[in-house]
Structure 1
């Protein structure tokens, strides 16, 4: 069982890691915030994530909403809430642990996890349902929450997914193209591109049936033949 820990409190991570080690569980990664947590999930592909609910900037539940549904590990929520407070999400979460975590309670959770390996979790009832309005990005040694309205388009490369802003700057994000398509207002226009529909200024047709989109900042975004019709329909263009 490959496990990662996501908690902004180092002491809490240390305590949980020691409890897991006592159970013979391999901890393959740790993160102190949601952005690092998503990075660990994308890189390590753990089977289980022990996830703190209360974290600064992006909470554990908000982090779940940002994960690609096709890459979801089993998630055990870790919380300092009392038992009455967690009743609201008890029926939808795979499992949860109250801080400070007790060894006996953890053993029961691990037993459930072993029986559930390979299952496909569904946390849609827990994760916030509204569209994402701020997108987490890495910028040098900082984590930036980029407003969706500042994004002209999105592109994916071998090195990852990048948000392109009005000034042409590129911002790396751990969010997948699929997550951005499903959980933001960004519009699919190409296998490798999404565009902010509010920033489209022109559609420029090309030979071969494709097109380019010119954004209001003067940036060009390719549109493949496959997506040209749906883009036009979204924009209310009939020709």
Structure 2
């Protein structure tokens, strides 16, 4: 007997979450390991629980399901099944690209077909980035018991340490569920150190140090290390050869 699929449901409607969870459990082939009421909570649970499949609502406040796709590392992304109210344009886009989707209210027979497809082949994921935005306009963060949405262009730098990935603007610091790799790939920030990304427009000066190292001072006065590996590329980006 096959091991049940581990599923995460991300939907801002309580009734829709509970109904889908019940339908999934009734199949006997799926274990619902988590439910999220918005994309930021969903991102956190995706990273923590690492489900086999995520049932992702498209229309959610602040960050949509499509925007959430952009925040996921393709190498560690679960299978995605979109859940949507009837929208002919959206559905046509999914069908053209062979994405799996469910219409609200979810039909149990249609859901069973989706489960069977997941068990046999998985969903078609190779084309999924076609509908996700190429760049992140905003970065979801948490700080001081609150959720913060920071515009990407306001970020001076981002860095990782043992406690997570941190985002620094001129006026605030917050922690993000995004990986440095996703931030590097999907925002204007560039790598200056294995653990640091910097916004070129936030650089006030670069101090050249001994042994081919350097230090960036941001517009708000924060020092950021620059390693030998990235110094040449940084100088070239700024027009210094």
Give the alignment's TM-score, normalised by structure 2.
0.93
What residue is the counterpart of 2:130 in the other structure? 125
Q: Distance in 2 between matches of 1:128 and 1:2?
A: 27
What residue is the counterpart of 1:146 in the other structure? 150
Long gaps (5+) in structure 1: none
1:73·1:121 contact (CA, 8 Å) conserved in 2? no
* 1:209 matched to 2:212: yes
RMSD, matched Cα: 1.6
* 1:16 matched to 2:10: no
* 1:188 matched to 2:164: no
What residue is the counterpart of 1:230 in the other structure? 233
> Which segments of structure 1 move beyond 6 Å, counting only runs of 4 or more?
none
Find 2:109's aligned residue among 96, 104, 116.
104
Find 1:28's aligned residue among 28, 33, 44.
33
* 1:170 matched to 2:173: yes
What residue is the counterpart of 2:73 in the other structure? 68
Q: Distance in 2 between matches of 1:166 and 1:172?
A: 15
Q: Secondary structure at the match of 1:86?
A: helix
Long gaps (5+) in structure 2: none
User: Aligned residue pairs: how many?
Assistant: 236
Moved more, 82-91 or 54-63: 82-91
Moved more, 51-60 or 157-166: 157-166
Q: Distance in 1 between matches of 2:119 and 2:112?
A: 11
1:200·1:215 contact (CA, 8 Å) conserved in 2? yes
* 1:46 matched to 2:56: no
